Amino acid sequence: APAPARGLIEPPTLTAIQRAADLLRAGDIVGMPTETVYGLGADALNPEAVARIFAAKGRPADHPLIVHLPDASHMTRWASSIPKEAIALARAFWPGPLTLILKREAGVPDEVTGGQDTVGLRVPSHSIALALLQVFDSGIAAPSANRFGRISPTTAAHVQEELGDKVAMVLDGGACAVGIESTILDFSRDTPEILRPGAITADDIARIIGRRPRVRGEADAGSAAAPKAGPDENTPRVSGALAAHYAPATPLKMLAAAQLVEEAATLAGEGSRVAVLAHSVADPHDARFIWHAASADVAAYGHDLYASLRELDASGADFILLEGLPADDAWRAIADRLGRAVVGSGADQDET
């Protein structure tokens, strides 16, 4: 029989999951759901397969990848030393949206770690991801399944849009429940540090380990503040920490609630088409605006965020205006992603 066409979205039957595991064993790459965003998976122990991820994404090869594991018992094959606090956090939050950066075991390929002495590990909670990991029974290296610098995919259709037939197949796991990438917590130095905020917050972590982790760029975090530029040479490379990331092609602006409608009207008055993403300001029902009502609930806002940005980016608007976000810890991850989207928006997409 002829081989199935590449890049097809497949319902997550047991047959499809087994085929995905076979494709991974053969060194191919597959789109897979997780509870955060869709991943572009490869056998983490196969350097050639991992190289295909970088080629498909157009991502610089020195950016490390997260290794997804079937369960915490696999940790010792990937990490050489596991602090007690990391074990406590794995117990508390795995399967779930928390990535632990630990000293790596010798056999972990440099292609996965970006040549660093650490490795990022996570057990995802999506049932299809777990089923695939259990059938595969080893680590799956998977970055978000978007082209480098673009919005992360939260549906199987997004993965197809981003990567087309570069992937062997896309396992369809529906819309991702969390919608933004995992919290990354670095345990490779004395004080644990959040390198990338996510649904599991600094307070959540403090409740388990009894001390609050450092949070990279904490002083700058806030409703309308853009994040600082990428990490310096002495800190681990985190591509999600580049200031310009998760970016739509349409220019984005973040505004306080009180200025939102006024600015939209000004831009419309100058002949621009304006799209607005607002969670507390009511739709003024002005026919000149493409108005997108976001939820004021942080989990629901995160769930919809990337799909909304994709939709607004495709709406033909000249500008996307975003209502600024609350400044509390629970909104930090979303404020972080929107801040980066603002910095990166409107760029020539061929350069990312």
Q: Rule CB under 5 A: which residues touch Mg ion?
A: 144
The CA angle 127-73-22, to the nearest 5 degrees, is: 55
Nearer residue to Mg ion within complex by CB, 34 or 144: 144
The residues in 194-223 that bind ligand TXA, with binding defined as CB under 6 A, are 195
In the complex, minimum distance from the CB of residue 58 to ligand TXA, in angstroms, rounded to a whole number: 13
Which residues are 122's β-sheet partners?
68
Which residues are 319's β-sheet partners?
274
Residues 6+ apart with CB under 8 A from 109: 44, 45, 46, 47, 50
- 3-state class (DSSP) for residue 312: helix
Q: Is 144 in the site for ligand TXA (CB under 6 A)?
A: yes
Tell whether residue 77 is among the known ligand binding residues: no
The site partner of 109 among ligand TXA, Mg ion, none (C-beta below 5 to 8 Å per kind) is none
**Backbone torsion region of residue 58, taken as left when φ is above 0, otherwise alpha when ψ lies between -120 and 50, otherwise beta:** left
The residues in 231-260 that bind ligand TXA, with binding defined as CB under 6 A, are 236-240
Place of tokens 């049932």: 127
How many Cα atoms are found within 13 Å in the side-chain-facing hemisphere of 207? Answer: 8
Tell whether residue 152 is among the known ligand binding residues: yes
Site string for ligand TXA, 279-318 (x = CB under 6 A): ----------------------------------------
Q: Is 181 in the site for ligand TXA (CB under 6 A)?
A: yes
CA distance 185 to 93: 12
In the complex, minimum distance from the CB of residue 153 to ligand TXA, in angstroms, rounded to a whole number: 9
Tell whether residue 38 is among the known ligand binding residues: no
Residues 6+ apart with CB under 8 A from 60: 54, 148, 239
Pick from 121, 171, 115: which is nearest to 145 by CA?
A: 171
Q: Which part of the chain contacts ligand TXA (CB under 6 A), choosing from 137-145, 156-164, 212-220, 251-259?
A: 137-145
Q: Is 278 in the site for ligand TXA (CB under 6 A)?
A: no
Buried-state track 37-70, b at ≥16 Cβ within 10 A, e below 16 = bbbbbbbbbbeebbbbbbebbebeeebbbbbbbb
Q: Pick from 31, 70, 109, 143: which binds ligand TXA (CB under 6 A)? A: 143
The site partner of 36 among ligand TXA, Mg ion, none (C-beta below 5 to 8 Å per kind) is ligand TXA
User: With contacts defined by CB under 6 A, how many residues of the chain interact with ligand TXA?
Assistant: 30
Which residues are annotated as part of the binding site for ATP? Answer: 59, 118, 144, 152, 196, 246
Which residues are annotated as part of the binding site for L-threonine? Answer: 36, 68, 122, 142, 182
Q: Which residues bind ligand TXA (CB under 6 A)?
A: 34, 36-37, 39, 63-66, 97, 99, 101, 113, 116, 118-120, 122, 124, 142-144, 181-182, 184, 195, 236-240
Which residues are annotated as part of the binding site? Answer: 36, 59, 68, 118, 122, 142, 144, 152, 182, 196, 246
